[in-house]
Amino acid sequence: MHQTRIKLNQTEDVKELVRAAEKCDFDVDVKCDSTLVDAKSILGVISLGLAKTVIIQCHGESVEFDNAIRKFAIA
């Protein structure tokens, strides 16, 4: 499992993340504190709130997905 810390500041960022996750043939989760939601669910991701640091958990490999979320990554 591969993890990346990101921050989504706008609703458009959430839409872009969900679109990229939907193209993956493996599970992609978004974790915020103790809450875990499916990254392919726009309502689930939005329910976590904006402008928070979240962790993306990929249960597979996709260069295309990694490239899509790279701009949201934080150190």
Average pLDDT over residues 11-36: 96
Q: How many CB atoms lie within 10 A of CB 4?
A: 16
CATH assignment at residue 16: 3.30.1340.10
CA distance 66 to 19: 13
Task: Give mean pLDDT, residues 25-34.
Answer: 96
Give the residue numbers spanning the domain of 52. Answer: 2-72
- Domains of the chain: total: 1
- Measure Cα distances from 14 to 18, 27, 44, 48, 54 in Å: 6, 17, 10, 11, 12
**Residues paired with residue 57 on neighbouring β-strands, in sequence order:** 3, 29
Residue 14 has what pLDDT? 96
65 band by pLDDT with thresholds 50, 70 and 90: very high
Contact indicator for 24, 58 with CB cutoff of 8 Å: yes
